Structure 1
């Protein structure tokens, strides 16, 4: 087994380049994220030992940014923009793309918007201090920041929160992420409630982009783009390549049409986004109900966000994935931490799927769990044999999580029905 080589994360701002980027002859593994000003366009993995000609690299870059560029230029008449890159007419390309993305990059940004940002944390004072420091420096500030101190062992979190003027500190003695989320939303005073994690670095325009999503009255909830903050360890690379929170660089709308189209197979609500970057209209949460505390880590698992998205869609509301609302997330560094995380993901996924089946009997989650997943995992077991390296290192925790989630649901059916 070869030692893991850390990936260097490189953010390339194409609007600031004098020429098209080119691969270096002796290039360390890196993860390149391409931007046009404040808009992320795509990413590219360049692995250890991979070498590309300038032409090959250009083609890979084009493929990486194509979905986003075509979306943003759909109504701008840009035409064959990729040919300008292939033929090294980079400045012409910049002019065309800059004009097409003007409406997304030149808006007047208010100093503050009516958003409550809720940070649920537990005994991570160092992370929290960094998070609050960075939130205070945003281009557009939230009207309210709430720190929910979840079952703390000491007062370190409270001391940090109280050092920041305007931050509301709440101690929630009952352990559980969804319990903390519910405490946060009940204390929030703004019409939009946004959630992020204490180990997340948000983009300077994050709060503005969250608020912007809800200017469409039809939108009841939103999620945003999550980019890896570090890829230093094998565990972090496995997560980013096979369990990533990144849902792409183009807008997506999840509504009644999506719900009905996927109902027979079980709507894949886990694809909508990540709890580290999500927001809701407060009155929608009050209507559909708060987060299901049965799904907390240590109980069923950690799929309270996905189950909430299911209920919002089932109630006929719309969720918007906005890739311009960006946060950077630091994944778990150690393999044991990753395995534990994946175990609880799959445990929570299973319990949530069966809960969702109870809400709407025609939902196809049982079919997914008992007919689709067994042959899928049998294939993975065969492919990973005998060494089970890289992505296969989490295979057994995944399977154990599914079995554990099923057992948890059976034990708690009566409570779930309430």
Structure 2
């Protein structure tokens, strides 16, 4: 029987009912995302054909959200709730959820918050229109939205922006995502800048949580939770299971302690979040520089975001991961597009790692590029033999991308990284 790669996504609101929906045991998989009011608390994959009784599903759900609740309990300085460590869901689950999470839910939102949202785009008008509409429909709106039209080949982006009178349009003729991001910095006027991709839709409370994060004066940058918008194809499933932007459901702090603890192997700053959902204090760029224009789409291929987080940390600032700032991302639908994307990811990954090594000679990025990565791919080559199905079918493009990134670095290491500002 042919394997099914279609997974239905269902968002389950635990504040409304503790009764989970029936999950049919057929060829369709399920991706269940659990929420308590506006707070995401976990997810669960139910594989195609997997037989799950209601009792088993309830237990799997509990095990998926239990680690999140334990962290929130500690963050709230609550005593260890009875049953929170048990393997079976407590009979008073509603009360446990309310006690643990109520202080993190927001009932009253301001109409507007002083943040600039920057969307860098190129010839993707249909996706952009959906993204802009989601931003305009927010109950708590950003004060400013800037669309950077990066080296377009038509006027479709300008036509979409014209439908939203309050949105600022910026034409950037030079191709390159980090070039476009830097143009956004120059256009934005609010004290906090948030970047989202043109293929995401923001959650209703997203702008509020971006603003709320920066009320902590120790935070210079942040990332947020990225949830898959659809899992309709094999390519999308490969990406979500092996390259996911989802960094979990609990707050994380990345600072000097994290940097020094991971210095030997090269701090894995790519784990901090995704450029599809990130934000910065605007004045930070005047202190540590703009995005490295040798990186990301249109240049090395990727990692302009993680290289920026690296510089944030090397300058003794902190990055916060806030899982309540949620966006929904549409992954690449077809395998050829995914392979091309992963080639660019690995090209940018190795190029950025070597650039970061040059900035900080004590970091272990050379060890990562020339030892850890080869061992990693050797394992996957052996593991996938001989079929090289599912995740393994992209390995060749990933390895080519990693090698290309090394060559790109050698060729461009002496190029200026920053625009003249």
TM over 0.5: yes
> Partner of 1:129: helix, strand, or coil?
helix
Q: Which runs of 5+ in 1 are unaligned?
A: none
**1:298 Cα shift?**
3.5
Deviation sequence 1:95-126 (CA, Å, 0-9, x none): 23113211111353111010000011101111
- 1:170 and 1:216 map into 2 onto residues whose CA distance is 31
Alpha carbons of 1:165 and 1:5: their partners in 2 closer, same or farther (altered >3 Å)?
same
For residues 212-240 of structure 1, what are the alpha-carbon distances to aligned partners after superposition, in whole Å with 9 as ceiling and x for unaligned? 11010000000000000000000000000
8 A contact 1:127–1:198 mirrored in 2: yes
CA distance in 2, matches of 1:40, 1:262: 28
Distance 2:99 2:238 in 1: 38
8 Å CA contact 2:339, 2:394 repeated in 1: yes
SS at 1:396's partner residue? helix
Match of 2:222 in 1: 222
Corresponding residue for residue 362 of structure 2:
362
- Structure 1 residue 406 and structure 2 residue 420: aligned? no
In structure 2, what is the Cα distance between the partners aligned to 1:354 and 1:193? 27
C-alpha spacing 1:416/1:268, structure 2 compared with 1 (3 Å): farther
Q: Which residue is 1:152 aligned to? A: 152
Describe the superposition over 1:316-341 as per-residue Cα deviations: whole angstroms up to 9, x where unpaired: 00000000000000000000000000
Q: Distance in 2 between matches of 1:377 and 1:25?
A: 35
Partner of 1:77: 79
CA deviations 1:60-112 (Å, max 9, x no partner) are 212211121111222223523458993672xx221231132111113531110
Inter-CA distance 387–145: structure 2 relative to 1 (3 Å threshold): same
Aligned to 1:142: 142
Rounded to whole Å, the distance in 1 between the matches of 2:4 and 2:27 is 16
- The corresponding residue for 1:258 is 258
Q: Secondary structure at the match of 1:278?
A: strand
- Show the counterpart of 2:294: 294
Give the aligned partner of residue 209 of structure 2: 209
Distance 1:28-1:348 versus aligned 2 partners, 3 A rule: same
- In the alignment, the residues of structure 2 paired with residue 389 and residue 56 of structure 1 have an alpha-carbon distance, to the nearest angstrom, of 30
Structure 1, residues 24-43: CA drift from partner, whole Å, max 9, x if none?
45583110000000000000
Is this contact kept in 2: 1:58–1:85, CA < 8 A?
A: no
In 2, the alpha carbon distance for the partners of 1:160 and 1:315 equals 39
The answer to whether the Cα contact below 8 Å between 1:73 and 1:97 also exists between their aligned partners in 2 is no
Distance 1:172 1:57, change over 3 A: same
The question of whether the paired residues in 2 share the 8 Å contact of 1:8 and 1:30 is answered with yes
Q: Give the match's secondary structure for 2:294.
A: helix
- Paired with 1:127 and 1:87, the residues of 2 have a C-alpha distance of 40
Mapped partners of 1:276, 1:14: distance in 2: 27
Q: Secondary structure at the match of 1:49?
A: coil
**Residue 369 of structure 1: SS of its match in structure 2?**
helix
What residue in structure 1 maps to residue 349 of structure 2? 349
1:115 aligns to what SS in structure 2? strand
**Matches of 1:84 and 1:372 in 2, distance apart?**
38
Q: Is the 8 A contact 1:140 1:207 kept in 2?
A: yes
